[in-house]
Structure formats: structure tokens, C-alpha cells
Amino acid sequence: MRRGLVALYLLSLMLLAGCLSPTTAGWGQGDGEVKVDFSTESTSATSSLGDEKQSFDELLPVGCDDTRTLDNGGNPIKFTGYMAASHFYETHDSLNGAKDLDLAVTVSVAIKSMSMNEAVGVDGEQIPRIQVKNWNLPLYPETGAGNIDLDEIDSDSSSKWFVLGLIPTTENILYGMQALGEWHQPIQIEGYLVDTNKTMSAGYYSSSHEVNGNCEMKIGQSNIESVYLMVTSIKLEDSVITSSGDSSDEWVLGDVPILGRGGFIMFILIVGIGGAVTMFMFSKIAAAKGASHSMETLVGKKAMAAVSRVKSDMKQAKSSGMKSSQERNAEARKDASVEAKKEGLKPAKRETADLISLTGFDLDSALQSGPSESITSDFGSKSSSVVITTEAKNIESKVTSIPRSVAPRSSPVTSTVPTTQSSVISNTDSVPSKHSHFSSSVSGSSKPQQQPKKKVVKKVQQPEVENWTENKQETTNSSEEEEFSDFSF
């Protein structure tokens, strides 16, 4: 519902501003343009609205003379009534029958003949409504459903009609014809009929045409008159369109009733831009209030009161001349540079850093100052998080300097051996080594620790005790040597 209202509002603004006015032919001799050199004695016209550019010479304007008869020249003829329909032409299609002076027509209108006062009073069911099906031929529209069907108008009809093919005489008249895009309005069009010595076809002046005492066109027995008209002026209910465009009541495209064109522009500027700025300010205030309410909900009223006191204290301190740490640091740097320039020496970076540290704590200086010890090296690849510290290096150098020693032999062990013949296979594993520092796995040698080999002892009938004892001792000594020598850092 809201979207529909917004669309209707925008459409009404566009209509008031004249943005949806109908388009018509241009003025000139190029494509889609018409130009007329009008004179009451002789008129010529050039049209590019058809398939080809055509010129019409020696057109004779027919007007109303002092005796209220139609003759060449004279005063313009008046066509007064209520406009029920109109059609604008940007091009003419000769395949649909447009020919001859049809190509110079830019607008066609259907007007119900009546006085201007009667046309102003038309309302309600009296309004003539026409449904236009096709208007390819300027003087012969095809109409359908509606309370008026122009195809059915004849001598028995109760209403009288004009169907006019309008030809502009000036550029101002051409563009002023856009006012005819609004149907259902009282109108009075003034102009001259067209006569020529070359043809007497329909639409041109004929001896059957007559005017009354006010130089208004009469309608014959057929109750409809279809003629070409070279327009010199158009009178609307509250404005006019003249050939020169100098009238005080001149119609202007986009003119708005009551407000006027300038008033409408000012209204848009004040209401549109001013309203946008006002809404922005209100939205900003609402957002600030919402943020303050959320903060009060999160931290509580006491914390908010403390923040307010801190802000007020900061303002008072600033107003009293107290300086922040950044300002003090900047002044210290400036003083140091001034003193160095006076002495003619460049201040050392270390002294400047010490001076800054005295005036106030500087987080950047604290982060940039590093340990006096050597930088540790990464363990494994560069992406590893394990490093070899200085203490680990010292332990490694001490351990590698210790000479290897041989463990003392154990005392002979005697045991009884079964006298039966048998073959025994035993697996002698090395004694589990002691846990070493994790850095021992990164020794200079990259050889992996070898697993003790499985020893197979075949026992034959009645082995000697001494040989078995010696083998036992050798096995024990070998295991201890391997255990003692496993200090690879």
C-alpha cells in the first residue's frame, strides 16, 4: 500500500513538472522536423516526417475578411469548443495512407463545437469521451467504444464536431501544442484554412465552408468538419499560446497552477532538500540516544555517571591549560631539536629516546627496545614455534665436551644350564635410555638412532659356563655403551 502511494506521489510530481508531456516533431529541416514560412499572402512548408523530405509551396492562407466571408488573407478563423481527444505525430507512415499535406501535420484534435462559456461548464456525464483506436490519418481517426464515436457522426447526430489537422506557423506554436496533450478542456484555436491552385482534395478550403459574425467556423449538414489549419494562436481556459510567445498569460511547459513554475521549483528545494536535512539530523539524534541507552544498560548508571565526570574533568583540565602526554612529548622533541641546533650537533637517537622516556611513557619506544642477548634461532623450518635458547646452546657445548667412558664390567654370573639338547632363541633388547632434553633431537648429526639388533643365541649340549658368562658381560657392556653414548644435541 505504501509503495503504491509513493508511486502515485512521484507520478503527480512529474505531471506537475511537465516531465510526462507528449513528444512532437521538431522545428527545422532535419529528420523528424517541420518548418513553415508563414505569410498571409503565400506560405511554404517543408516536412521530414514522412519517408522522404517534401516541400509544399504556394500555399494560400484563407481567413475571414471584414465582410465575414472567407477569402485569401484577412483575419484568422476561430474554432471554439471542448477538446475531447488529441494525437501527436513524430513521423507519418505513407503505407497507412498518409500523403500530401498530412505530412506537415504535427497534431490532430477532435473538438466538440460550442461556445467557450459552455465548454468551461461541461462536467460529469456531459464530458464527451472518445476511445481512439487508430489515428494514422490526421483528418480521419478510427474510434470505438465511448459515449462518442466519430465514425458514426452524420446528419442525424445531435452534436457537431471539428477534426483539425494542425500545422504550426512558428516554433513557439509548435512547442506550445504540447498543452493539447491534456484531454477534456475548453479550447479556442485560431488559424487559416489552406487553399491551393493545384488540388481541391479533402481537407483544403472549399466554397462550402462558412463563418459566422464572430469569424467562427460553421459546421455543415454532416455535423463534422475535417480541415487542415495553419495555427496562429491557441487559447486555453487560463493561458494562451501565441506565435511570438510574448503574452503575459503565455503557456509554459511545466507551469504549475497557483504556485507557478518558479514557485514549484522553490517548493521542491525547500521541502525536498530541507526535509532531507531535517530527517538526517533527527535520525542522527535518535541514533545517539539509542547508543547512550544501550551503554547505560550494559555498564550501569554509576559507570555512565563516572564517564560523564571524567569528560567534564578533561574539559576543565584542558580549559585550565593542562597538556596531554602527546603534547608534552611533542614539546620535548621540539626543545631537544632547538637545543641541538644551538649547539650545532645532531642529537643522538638514544638520548632522544631517553629524554622522551623521562617526559612520559612511550609505548612505541618500549616495543622497539629489544633484549641485550643474541637473537635466538628457529628450530626446524622458519614457520616452527620452537626455538633454541642461549641456555640450551650452553648445555649442548658442555655435554659435547665430556669424553665417553666405558662402563665397568659386571661380576661374573654363574647359572646352571640344562643338560638336555635344545635350541633357544632369545630377544635381547637394549635397556631403555634415560629421558633427554628435547633439544637433544636436534644434534649436529642427522642420523636416526638405530634400534638394537635382535641377537640369536643357539645353545648346544652343555655349553661352557665361562663362555656364557663372557657373552652376557659383552651384551651388558654393549647396551650400557649405547645408552651412555646417546647424547646427541
HEC sequence for the chain: CHHHHHHHHHHHHHHHHCCCCCCCCEECCCCCEEEEECCCCCEEEEECCCCCCEEEEEEEEEEECCCCCEEEECECEEEEEEEEEEEECCCCCHHHCCCHHHHHCCEEEEEEECCHHHHHCCCHHHCCCCCEEECCCCCCCEECCCCCCHHHCCCCCCCCEEEEEEEECCHHHHHHHHHHHCCCEEEEEEEEEEECCCCCCCCCCCCCCCECCCCEECCCCCCEEEEEEEEEEEECCCCEEECCCCCCCECCCCCCCCCHHHHHHHHHHHHHHHHHHHHHHHHHHHHHHHHHHHHHHHHCHHHHHHHHHHHHHHHHHHHHCCCCHHHHHHHHHHHHHHHHHHHCCCCCHHHHHHHHHHHCCCHHHHHHCCCCCCCCEECCCCCCCCEECHHHHHHHHHHHCCCCCCCCCCCCCCCCCCCCCCCCCCCCCCCCCCCCCHHHHHCCCCCCCCCCCCCCCCCCCCCCHHHHHHHHHHHHHHHHHHHHCCCCC
Confirm if 222 and 113 have CB atoms less than 8 A apart. no
Grid cell listed for 47? 516536412
CA dist., res. 186 & res. 234, Å (int): 11
Confirm if 116 and 186 have CB atoms less than 8 A apart. yes
pLDDT of residue 225: 94
**Cell 456531459 appears where?**
126
| Band of residue 324 on the pLDDT scale cut at 50, 70, 90 | confident
- pLDDT over 90 (residue 3): no
- pLDDT over 70 (residue 21): no
User: For 392-411, how does the pLDDT look when each residue is reduced to its tens digit (9 = 90+)?
Assistant: 777 777 766 665 544 444 44
Grid cell listed for 313? 574533568
User: For 433-472, how does the pLDDT look when each residue is reduced to its tens digit (9 = 90+)?
Assistant: 444 444 444 444 444 444 554 444 444 444 444 444 445 4
Residue 53 CA, distance from chain mean position = 44
User: For 285-314, how does the pLDDT look when each residue is reduced to its tens digit (9 = 90+)?
Assistant: 988 888 888 887 888 878 878 878 888 888
Other C-beta atoms closer than 10 Å to the C-beta of 204 total 20
Which comes out higher in pLDDT, residue 97 or 380?
Answer: 97
Interhelix angle 349-359/325-343, nearest 10 degrees? 140
| Band of residue 199 on the pLDDT scale cut at 50, 70, 90 | low
- pLDDT over 50 (residue 422): no
Which comes out higher in pLDDT, residue 410 or 152?
Answer: 152
Of 260-274, 283-297, 314-328, highest mean pLDDT: 283-297
Alpha-carbon dihedral sign for residues 105, 110, 115, 119:
negative
Q: Where are the domains of the chain?
A: 17-255, 266-320
